[in-house]
Amino acid sequence: MKNLISASVSLLVLAACASAPSAPAATPEAAPEVMGAAAAEPAAKAWNTLTGERPIVIAHRGASGLYPEHTIMAYKAAIAQGADFIEPDLVMTSDGVLIARHDLYLSATTDIADHPEFADRKVKRQTPFGEQEDWWADDFTFAEIQTLKARQQFQGRAMDYNDQLDIVTFDEIMDLVLAEAAKGRIVGLHVEAKWPGHYTDIGKGLADPILDAMKAKGLKDAGIPVYIQCFEPPFLAEVASKSDLPLIQNMVGAPYAAMMGLDYKLEDITTDGVGADVSYVLGKDGTPTDFVERAHEAGLLVHVYTVRDDRPDAPFTDSRAELQALFEAGIDGVWADFPGTAVEVRDSLED
């Protein structure tokens, strides 16, 4: 982390981020912990990324366009498709087990509504978007979570694997990349801490469990590249004080940021990079803004979320065109629901 981030907008940031749903390129500051995959390979062309290395492809919740998100099947598919990093979003159970879920609430991506034994565990909570009645991951033990199965949440995608795949722990995800490394394939982890402020409020901060878990698994010794990302600056500041891992400050999407009066000043961001919505990088007409140039001038990597084959961002009607525009704009990485497409487009630009 380059410096300490102001936490003044953290609550607003939390609110906005929760609404959305590379061979790793080494950052200059964090090379020892960001070795491997693409970082070790010279790019076949001169990329206009921060480091000149090829941009990384981050499998967004695994190959979540094809399989229920955050399942071993989704992660394995992403690895098979050539993703440089897989992305676990992490929450924690009531008994302290880190599991991969995008949200604290469980109704959207699991079969919990079909478990009568949990019917009376549905409770209302106040969220940044108002009151929500749901089942919440931190109200359940890991043993209870293990009785659930994952579901695809986006209409129009394959539902064939619904209610068959387990909820995955962070340990299992680390074991997966360690097994790949043992076979000679280095795949990184782009780890997002979800709702860390909430966990801090209930006396169960996420930073130590995440850092301790990675240390226990020996990721660094195994050469597994790691980024830690979050929308909440205080969490990143805590991780910065406890490790030298490269950090990505996720930024609320431009339209939401404008609505909320947020004005990110790139020169004040102290992480190694930013996680930016596509709209920061490409304007409404699909042409590049000056965002990447300004971020690079500030020494920041730009990782961009999220490209989806079945939901390209306007004005694009083809995710390949969107990806090409992003890569040509100089981004350093992209989260993709269909990582194989992103790898294909990136690699085609090196031909």
Q: Under the criterion CB under 6 A, does residue 229 sit at the interface with ligand G3P?
A: yes
Distance CA 115, CA 127 (A): 24
Least distance from C-beta 58 to ligand G3P, angstroms? 8
How far from 157 is each of 61, 177, 254, 333, 338, CA to CA, in Å? 15, 26, 27, 24, 12
- Our CB check for Ca ion shows the closer of 47 and 173 to be 173
341 binds ligand G3P (CB under 6 A): no
Site string for ligand G3P, 2-21 (x = CB under 6 A): ------------------xx
Of 54, 60, 151, 308, the residue at the interface with ligand G3P (CB under 6 A) is 60
Select from ligand G3P, Ca ion, none the partner in contact with residue 20, using the beta carbon and a kind-dependent cut-off of 5 to 8 Å: ligand G3P
335 contact, one of Ca ion, ligand G3P, none, CB 5-8 Å limit per kind? ligand G3P
d(CA 306, CA 213): 27
Contact between 153 and ligand G3P by CB under 6 A: the answer reads no
Q: How far apart are CA 187 and CA 189, in angstroms?
A: 7
- Sequence-distant (6+) residues with CB within 8 A of 62 are 69, 70, 71, 73, 74, 75, 76, 77, 78, 86, 87
128 contributes a contact to ligand G3P by CB under 6 A:
no
- Decide: is 110 part of the binding site for ligand G3P (CB under 6 A): no
The residues that touch Ca ion, with contacts defined as CB under 5 A, are 89, 192
Q: Indicate the residue among 89 and 103 with the shorter CB distance to Ca ion.
A: 89
- Is position 84 an interface residue for ligand G3P (rule: CB under 6 A)? no
Closer residue to ligand G3P (CB): 89 or 144: 89
The residue at minimum Cβ distance from ligand G3P is 305
Binding partner of 21, given Ca ion, ligand G3P, none, CB within 5-8 angstroms per partner class: ligand G3P
Pick one of 33, 69, 89, 332: the residue that binds ligand G3P (CB under 6 A): 89
Residue nearer to ligand G3P on the CB measure, 306 or 341: 306
Task: Provide the CA 101 distance to its chain's centre, in angstroms.
Answer: 11
249 counts as binding ligand G3P under rule CB under 6 A: no
- Contacts with 8 (C-beta within 8 Å, 6 or more apart), sequence order: none
192 vs 238, beta carbon nearer Ca ion: 192
Query: Burial level of 344, CB count in 10 A (0-12/13-18/19+)?
Result: middle
Output the smallest distance, CB 59 to ligand G3P, in A.
10
Binder of ligand G3P out of 192, 232, 332, 337 (CB under 6 A): 192
Residue 68 vs 275, nearer CB to ligand G3P: 275
- Is 227 an interacting residue with respect to ligand G3P (CB under 6 A)? no
* Strand-strand pairing, 301-307 and 333-336: parallel
Q: Which of 195, 305, 316, 327 binds ligand G3P (CB under 6 A)?
A: 305
Cβ atoms of 101 and 63 within 8 Å: the answer is no
CA separation, residue 219 to residues 7, 36, 65, 89, 242 (Å): 29, 12, 27, 17, 16
Asked whether position 62 contacts ligand G3P by CB under 6 A, the answer is no
Q: Which tokens go with 328?
A: 């040509």
Total count of residues recorded for the chain? 351
Q: Mark residue 184 as left, alpha or beta (left: phi above 0; alpha: psi -120 to 50; beta: remaining).
A: left
Question: Closer to ligand G3P at the Cβ: 102 or 296?
Answer: 102
User: Interface with ligand G3P includes 217 (CB under 6 A)?
Assistant: no
Count other C-beta atoms under 10 Å from residue 241's C-beta: 10
DSSP state of 247: E
Please say whether the beta carbons of 37 and 86 come within 8 A. Answer: no
Task: Name the minimum Å distance from CB 192 to Ca ion.
Answer: 4
Residues that bind ligand G3P in the complex, under the rule CB under 6 A: 20-21, 60, 87, 89, 102, 192, 229, 250, 275, 305-306, 335
